[in-house]
Amino acid sequence: MKRAFVLTSSVLLLPLLLAEISPGDSSCRALWLFNLPCVTPNRALVRQVLAWSSKICADEQEKCMYKILATRRSYLEVMHTSRDLNRTTLMYFDFYPPESPKFCKIWAYSVTSPFSASNTNDFCLFHNLFQGSGLTDAPGYREITNEKMCPSVSSATCFQGDQLSTV
């Protein structure tokens, strides 16, 4: 059984780890862990994306103009459009294992096009969704990334201190 889990995990994560991006794009990868069934964070993220789907942004541009492109029990695809910088970010969330009653691992990957070195916020787009949905207070919450996985994490202005675990 353990071998099947490792093989299945590898198959699910391989596209996230090997995904190619164009030279003019930026990308970010991150992992979140919860002591909850995956249906809970999946629904919370869907609700948050819908809440931030308006074209009217209050103070922060990252907290609006989200759109759900696809949703399944084990997968969520979201697009964010920056209103000022004319760029889009595609975000992919894989929820694993989708049927577990007590644990959820979410691998996420984003691609932003076109890349803007002066204003990368890939990590903040993820982090804001998790924070806005209340998932940062959920049981077993852990956010894991580093500069290799997500170059924008080092300059992220949305992040507040001790919640981030780097690998």
The CATH number of the domain holding residue 121 is 3.30.530
Q: What is the mean pLDDT of the chain?
A: 79
Domains in the chain: how many in total? 1
Report pLDDT for 39: 95
Task: Look at the pTM and tell me if it is higher than 0.85.
Answer: no
Cis amide leading into 15 (omega within 30) = no
Rounded distance, CA 93 to CA 107, Å?
A: 6
- 113 within a domain of the structure (yes/no): yes
Rounded distance, CA 64 to CA 112, Å?
A: 16
User: 63 or 84: whose pLDDT is higher?
Assistant: 63
- 65 within a domain of the structure (yes/no): yes
Report pLDDT for 119: 53
Question: Containing domain of residue 158, as a range?
Answer: 23-165
The highest-confidence range among 17-26, 66-75, 121-130, by mean pLDDT, is 66-75
- 56 within a domain of the structure (yes/no): yes
Q: Name the pairing type of β-strands 75-81 and 104-113.
A: unpaired
Using alpha carbons, select from 94, 89, 95 the residue that is nearest to residue 113.
Answer: 89
- 9 within a domain of the structure (yes/no): no
Using pLDDT thresholds of 50, 70 and 90, give the confidence band for residue 136: very high
Contact partners, residue 105, CB within 8 Å, separation at least 6: 31, 32, 33, 95, 96, 97
